[in-house]
């Protein structure tokens, strides 16, 4: 009996009809909801051409949307790299055999996971200048806040990935004389990253969206420039928000597609080379085939 048959009971004729009816009813309900939303917006004049006209002008894109998108991508890209490094380092720290490394690493990860990201940005931007007596860069306030929060979440993801690797692999590595640092860097962490890739990608998508919180401290990202500033000049906040939402969807879809391609590539490179029938029949030197010369 196949595994699919055990885990999934294929629907019979009545169940198929019921599922079809439910699908049609649900689809009609969704279409009705979308039509109701459209009609309510139309009653308020939100589909008026004058409100959408600014998006046909090049100055709208060059002065507001594209600079805001660049600010979002720049902060997200730097925070992604730093978050991954932070996550790996503190995951290794939490897996350390030494309590004086494991406990502080765990305290840092749990603290930054518990503190809201908005408060982190506020404290870094407004609180750090009291300590350093120097003004804090808005860009680095956003990046450091994103790094501390998302890096802590990724640290737990990497730690869970390491625990998911069969223990026999690390035991075999220790048996051939590898040190723990070599086992972590060459065996456990690479496999953990592949195993937890969906979780990592999901958190990086969250990171991209969390850059929008930077507008609270006036960081020039997509929400600040492409929604707040744009709508202040043209009075079209709903339209600007819709355009910004579409841009976020496109960016996150590209990130997810790239992660899917990367996952397929790593799975291919991680496979053992296939042995063809001709290679299996090849006789090794000195293993027979005494073909003497006549």
pLDDT in tens, 154-210: 999 989 888 888 888 888 888 888 888 888 888 888 888 888 888 888 899 999 999
Predicted local confidence at residue 265, as pLDDT: 77
pLDDT at 124: 94
Residue linked to tokens 């308020």: 44
| CA 248 remoteness from chain centre | 13
Task: Flag the least confident range among 25-39, 91-105, 141-155, 181-195.
Answer: 181-195
| Residue 294: C-alpha distances to residues 86, 227, 283, 287 (Å) | 70, 89, 21, 20
pLDDT, mean over the chain? 86
Residue 284: both structure tokens together: 């090794």
Residue found by looking up tokens 């009809």 in the block: 17
Choose between 25 and 165: higher pLDDT: 25
Instruction: Specify the 3-state DSSP secondary structure of 289.
Output: coil
pLDDT-derived band of residue 73, with 50, 70 and 90 as boundaries? very high
Residue 247: is its pLDDT beyond 70? yes
- Beta-carbon contacts of 72 under 8 Å, excluding residues fewer than 6 positions away, are 208, 211, 212, 221, 222, 251
- pLDDT at residue number 249: 94
Residue 227 has pLDDT above 50, yes or no: yes
pTM: 0.79
**Among 121, 119, 89, 82, CA closest to 104:** 89
Calpha distance 146→82 (Å, rounded): 9
Task: For residues 216 and 214, give the distance between their C-alpha atoms in angstroms, rounded to a whole number.
Answer: 5
Residue 285 CA to its chain's centroid (Å): 51
50-268: CATH number: 1.10.3720.10
The reported pLDDT for the residue numbered 258 is 85
Q: What is the pLDDT of residue 276?
A: 47
């Amino acid at each position: 009996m196949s595994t699919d048959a055990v885990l999934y009971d294929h629907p019979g004729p009545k169940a198929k009809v019921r599922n079809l009816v439910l699908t049609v009813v649900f689809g009609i309900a969704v279409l009705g909801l979308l039509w109701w939303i459209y009609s309510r917006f139309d009653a308020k004049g939100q589909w008026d051409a004058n409100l959408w006209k600014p998006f046909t002008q090049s100055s709208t894109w060059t002065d507001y949307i594209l600079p805001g998108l660049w600010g979002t991508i720049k902060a997200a890209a730097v925070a992604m790299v730093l978050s991954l490094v932070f996550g790996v380092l503190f995951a290794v720290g939490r897996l350390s055999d030494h309590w004086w490394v494991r406990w502080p690493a765990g305290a840092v990860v749990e603290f930054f996971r518990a503190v809201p990201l908005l408060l982190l940005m506020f404290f870094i931007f407004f609180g750090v200048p009291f300590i350093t007596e120097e003004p804090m860069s808005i860009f680095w306030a956003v990046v450091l806040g994103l790094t501390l929060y998302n890096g802590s979440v990724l640290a737990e993801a990497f730690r869970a990935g390491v625990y998911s690797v069969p223990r026999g692999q690390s035991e075999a590595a220790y048996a051939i004389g590898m040190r723990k640092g070599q086992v972590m860097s060459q065996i456990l962490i690479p496999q953990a990253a592949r195993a937890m890739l969906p979780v990592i990608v999901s958190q990086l998508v969250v990171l991209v969206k969390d850059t929008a919180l930077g507008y609270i401290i006036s960081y020039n990202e997509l929400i600040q420039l492409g929604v707040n500033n744009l709508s202040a000049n043209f009075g079209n906040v709903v339209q600007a928000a819709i355009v910004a939402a579409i841009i976020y969807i496109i960016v996150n879809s590209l990130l997810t597609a790239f992660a899917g391609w990367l996952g397929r590539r790593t799975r291919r490179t991680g496979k053992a080379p296939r042995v063809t029938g001709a290679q299996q029949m090849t006789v090794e030197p000195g293993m027979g085939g005494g073909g003497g010369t006549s």
